[in-house]
Amino acid sequence: MKKRNVVLGLGLAAALALTGCSSGGDSASDGGSSGEAVKGGTLHVLATTDFSHLDPAQGWDGGVNNFYRLIYRQLTMFAGGDSENPTEIVPDLATDLGTPNEDNTVWTFTLKDDIFFQDGTPITSEDVRFGVERSLDPDIAVGSPYAKILLDGADEYEGVYKDGHLDSIETPDDKTIVFHLNQSYADFGSAVAQPVYTPFPAEGDVTTTSIDKQPISSGPYVVSEYKPGSSIVLERNEYWEPDSDEVRKAYPDKFVWTLGLDNSTIDERMIANQGDDKNAISGIILASSLSRIQEPSIQERTLEGLKGCTTYLALNTTKEPLNDLKVRQAISYAIDKKSVQTATGGPALTDIANTMLPPTVKGHQDFDLYPSEGGEGDPEKAKELLEEAGYADGFELSLDMRAVPVTQAQAESIQESLAKANIDVKLNVVDTAKYWQIIGTPSQQTDAAIAGWCPDWPTGATFLPPLFEGSQIFDQGNSNIAQFDNEEVNKRMDEIRAMTDVEEANKAWGELDKQILESAPAVPLTWEKAVTVTGSNIANAHLHEGYSGGIDYAVVGLKSVDE
Amino acid sequence: MLLYILKRVLAGVVVLFLITVFTYTVFFVLSPDPAYMICGKTCTPDRIADIHEKLGLDKPFWEQIWVFLSGLFVGRDYGEGVNALHCAAPCLGYSFQTSQSVFEMIVQRLPVSATLAVGAAVLWLFAGIGGGLIGAVKKGTWWDRGIMVVALSGISLPNYFVALALQYLLVVKLKWLPFPTAVPFADDPLLWFQSYIMPWFVLAFMYAAMYTRLVRSNVIDTLGQGFIRTARAKGLDTNVVMGKHALRPALTPALTLFGMDFAALLGGALITETVFGLNGVGKLTADSITQNDQPVIMAVTLLAAALVVVANIVVDLLYSVLDPRVRVKAQ
């Protein structure tokens, strides 16, 4: 299950704080779930689905990345959910964020002391190299692509088992590792926080499939029991040195996941707050449970924040009349986002989006190029534009949508608001399982589609290129659903990627967002929120902006432990 | 007799073979491409081709079916070179979603479904046969009517409604029971019982209702037959008449039904397992359908079909024990 499935509504969905202020529940009083935590106890997690993979070379979605924080370490990592700025990248196994050469094509990292695998063997640069080389094996490479895309020669490399070592990773000594990239990449310090950079014992008997069954931990916990689809139990890793780790608090002695529960049962349990469920956290509640969590006693243990993903309407710029800028702008004006918000669950569950980048992304800029009164759409303005474009009598538009209730409701509200501008929308309902295949295949998609995107880490770099870069249009597995291929935008993306200053690049992505939307290849619709209820004995629970996984497992704990 | 059994087993194998081919065909023709599910966000046409090759989905349809079928008996190999993976017989392949061995997944979850099926079967046979008998003997009384009203509600109330209502009442409101967890009996007998009692009741309620009606009408039917009058005229004790002469022929249709029902339940109770969060084969089926996990769907379909086929054969053999008329035909 990959990130795009977060949009599919599978897995623990994202939850994160609004930039500039902590998320609603985070500021709760000491009685709430973000109070002081103590060491010890067993923390329970109630979940609907199993994790895709325990092997970090293969798993790659918000929920599982968050889980990996407990058992795996990488060179760098996101700061804790309880810190000032959770999406800041901080050193983990490395002593710093890496030292680049002049043009950011060669990166050197030095490892800390006192870092061990779960059997007490020290972690060396060889182990980090082996972990990355292993992840590049095509037989398992279904996880994060940020080693394959960036490392020199990785695209032709078949993994450590077939091809031996990859020349572009050097280990001059046990503490030093050097990466040679195939491009200038200023944000490489963020890339090495991806799960594929997890070390594994180079001298061990790790195979392509063994980690999925029996993980080898480098983090504060080890997997002591795993029943696929039913439960996972983590216990403390005695060889993890707290002093070598600035982020992970590792409060509980034990984590117990109960998997495969029905979503409504989870909500029921979290609201009832009985027995062990007092020490439990879970994912996002169902919209239907919203009315039941309004009591102050439950509100006090409720966290909410943005998921960090954008739901948008992609307009296929290769189709008539959508290849006309004025027509796309007309659609951007006509859509009643207020009603789309209502269809998605109302203001409690979603915010109206006017930009492609959500506020959680660094460098996000707030603007609205196609404003209307109360966000309710401006059909008059749309009609004017259509007239200018020569479609005074409107036209017919086919909209691809998944057969799920919320998308159905969103599509119907789009249909209604476009009808006011004489655009006759025909809904093309596609089976959920086939949806991404169809809209990701240019020969099969129709005029427009409702889609969503979550970034790999909160920067424009992992958000805008996959959706709007010309070179990203593929015959299959295409993520640029608008098939937007604009020379200026393509050029600007190359320029931003060449920037050596990450802050500056982030800002530039924010500006590019505006430049792209001037061409209106897509209409941002909503930013969905995560609302989650915690048990009454949960402490230091913070939604994390870097994970679509909600509560940061690395810092959450219990208020009190009965001994 | 031996020839008869052989014939039946052979017919069963043919049925299973046809089901396998049919299911595979349905997937091959209608199913979305699993490569998209596997490569997710970082898809490229190359990556899709790689996945097809690794899963053997690039081969022609007949070859794929052949590989699947032979895998059941002699195992099969995935990939080649140093990473080649041998999947030992009976090989049901690996989950597209989690790469786990499908055979292991099912073996892990069967105990839960078996516990559910056995417990529920004991309850519903007891209630169904008992209720049917009382209803038949006390025909037309308030006893009879009361039992029939309960049976009717059991048939008409949807399974998920009873399950959710029961859980809300006993767990959330009254707090008599904890939320169910699929704990093995050996770990915590009390919690085991508390966890399974609700799902047992929900399943039994549904089935018992059908059995009650079936047994009742059969017993009433039998009691009107000539041989019962003869038995009574011989001065036999009422209990003997009821137990030995009336109940036995009345139970044979129920036995047929039971074989099928029990086998189907072993193959997983989708709704009940999902509502109560018990990870049996039924929950696995539901999950694999939502995730479009083809190898798992194939496997659970085959399992359910095999169970029903076997149950059918067993029931037919038992028939010949219970009913002398069948024995003659069989020979």
Does residue A545 lie in a domain region? yes
Which member of A161, A268, A477 has the closest CB to residue B45?
A: A477
For residues A237 and A199, membership in a common domain is answered with: yes
What pLDDT score was predicted for residue A26?
39
Q: A277 contacts in B (CB within 8 Å)?
A: 179
User: Could you give the CA distance from residue A136 to residue A140 in angstroms, rounded to a whole number?
Assistant: 7
Per the document, the length of chain A is 563
Residue A508, classified by CB atoms within 10 Å of its CB into exposed (0-12), middle (13-18) or buried (19+), is buried
Q: Quick one: which of A498, A502, A455 has its CA closest to A479?
A: A455
Exposure pattern of B280-314 as b/e (b: 16+ CB <10 Å)? bbbbbbbbbeebbbbbbbbbbbbbbbbbbbbbbee
pLDDT digits (tens, 9 = 90+) for A489-505: 999 999 998 898 889 99
Strands A76-78 and A89-91: antiparallel
Task: Name the domain count of chain A.
Answer: 2
Q: B172 contacts in A (CB within 8 Å)?
A: 268, 272
- Mutation to test the A interface, candidates B83, B113, B194, most A Cβ within 10 Å: B83
Does residue A22 lie in a domain region? no
What pLDDT score was predicted for residue A143?
83
Tokens of B251: 């139970």
User: What residue ranges of chain B are covered by domains with CATH 1.10.3720.10?
Assistant: 103-327
Beta strands in B136-212 (DSSP E): none
What pLDDT score was predicted for residue A65?
92
Tokens of A392: 């005074």
Nearest residue of A to residue B271 by CA position? A262
- pLDDT at residue B320 greater than cutoff 80: no
Inter-residue contact B192 to B185 (CB < 8 Å): yes
Backbone phi, then psi, for A198, in 5-degree steps? -75, 130
Q: Quick one: which of A557, A563, A541 has its CA closest to A221?
A: A557
User: Could you give the CA distance from residue B277 to residue B176 in angstroms, rounded to a whole number?
Assistant: 18
- Mutation to test the A interface, candidates B33, B37, B39, B41, most A Cβ within 10 Å: B41
What pLDDT score was predicted for residue A495?
94
For residues A406 and A424, membership in a common domain is answered with: yes
- Higher per-residue confidence, B327 vs B274: B274
Q: What is the mean pLDDT of each run of 10 residues along chain A (563 residues)?
A: 33 26 35 82 93 90 90 96 89 97 95 97 97 90 87 92 95 97 93 96 91 95 92 96 96 95 90 93 90 92 91 96 97 97 92 96 95 95 96 95 92 97 96 87 95 91 95 90 97 92 94 98 95 95 82 96 76
User: Could you give the CA distance from residue A61 to residue A454 in angstroms, rounded to a whole number?
Assistant: 10
Question: B176 at the A interface (CB within 8 A)?
Answer: no
- The architecture (CATH level 2) of B103-327 comes to Orthogonal Bundle (1.10)
Question: B32 at the A interface (CB within 8 A)?
Answer: yes
Tokens of B227: 């041989």
- For residue A180, the enclosing domain spans 32-254+534-558
Contact assignment for B105 to A258 by CB distance below 8 Å: no
3-state secondary structure at position A538: strand
**Amino acid in the structure at residue B8:** R
Tokens of A513: 């967002």
For residues A195 and A327, membership in a common domain is answered with: no
User: Could you give the CA distance from residue B8 to residue B316 in angstroms, rounded to a whole number?
Assistant: 9
Q: B39 contacts in A (CB within 8 Å)?
A: 2, 142, 477
Question: B30 at the A interface (CB within 8 A)?
Answer: no
Torsion A267-A270-A273-A274 (CA) sign: positive
Contact assignment for B167 to A137 by CB distance below 8 Å: no
Q: A164 contacts in B (CB within 8 Å)?
A: none
3-state secondary structure at position A463: coil
What pLDDT score was predicted for residue A539?
96
User: Could you give the CA distance from residue B94 to residue A142 in angstroms, rounded to a whole number?
Assistant: 15
For residues A213 and A350, membership in a common domain is answered with: no
Please list the residues that pair with A524 across neighbouring strands: A312
Contact assignment for A265 to B179 by CB distance below 8 Å: yes
Which member of B32, B98, B167 has the closest CB to residue A228?
A: B98
For residues A415 and A552, membership in a common domain is answered with: no
For the beta sheet containing A254-258, the strands, ordered from the edge strand earlier in sequence to the opposite edge, are A221-227, A231-236, A254-258, A42-46, A280-282
Contact assignment for A229 to B287 by CB distance below 8 Å: yes
Does residue A387 lie in a domain region? yes
| Residue B179 pLDDT class (50, 70, 90 cuts) | confident
* CB atoms near residue A523 (< 10 Å): 26
CA angle A71, A77, A80 (to 5 degrees): 85
What H or E segment, with its residue span, contains residue A66?
A: helix A62-71
CATH number at residue A103: 3.40.190.10
Contact assignment for B39 to A1 by CB distance below 8 Å: no
> B residues 38-57 near A, CB within 8 Å?
38-45, 47-48, 50, 54
**Amino acid in the structure at residue B222:** T
For residues A234 and A373, membership in a common domain is answered with: no
Contact assignment for A265 to B41 by CB distance below 8 Å: no
For residues A544 and A516, membership in a common domain is answered with: no
Please list the residues that pair with A314 across neighbouring strands: A449, A522
Tokens of B123: 């309850």
Which member of A228, A434, A476 has the closest CB to residue B48?
A: A476
For residues A418 and A492, membership in a common domain is answered with: yes
Counting Cα atoms < 13 Å in the Cβ hemisphere of A467 gives 31
- Mutation to test the A interface, candidates B103, B105, B179, B195, most A Cβ within 10 Å: B179
Does residue A230 lie in a domain region? yes
What H or E segment, with its residue span, contains residue B26?
A: helix B2-30
CA distances from B132 to B224, B238, B251 (A): 16, 17, 10
Q: Which residues contact A481 (CB under 8 A, 6 or more apart)?
A: A314, A316, A439, A440, A445, A449, A451, A467
CA distances from A496 to A363, A464, A523 (A): 13, 12, 23
* CB atoms near residue A113 (< 10 Å): 10
| Residue B48 pLDDT class (50, 70, 90 cuts) | confident
For residues A353 and A492, membership in a common domain is answered with: yes
What pLDDT score was predicted for residue A287?
85
Highest mean pLDDT among A165-169, A292-296, B170-174, B323-327: A165-169
User: Could you give the CA distance from residue B79 to residue B99 in angstroms, rounded to a whole number?
Assistant: 13
Which member of B36, B83, B181 has the closest CB to residue A477?
A: B36
Strands A280-282 and A350-352: unpaired
What pLDDT score was predicted for residue B294?
85
Highest mean pLDDT among B75-89, B115-129, B260-274: B115-129
Count of A–B CB contacts within 8 Å?
Answer: 124
pTM: 0.86
Question: In the predicted model, what is the mean pLDDT of residues B209-230?
Answer: 88
Contact assignment for B32 to A52 by CB distance below 8 Å: no
Does residue A26 lie in a domain region? no
| Least Cα separation, residue A1 to chain B (angstroms) | 7
Q: Which residue has the tokens 């010890």?
A: A40
Counting Cα atoms < 13 Å in the Cβ hemisphere of A370 gives 34
User: Could you give the CA distance from residue A465 to residue A468 in angstroms, rounded to a whole number?
Assistant: 5
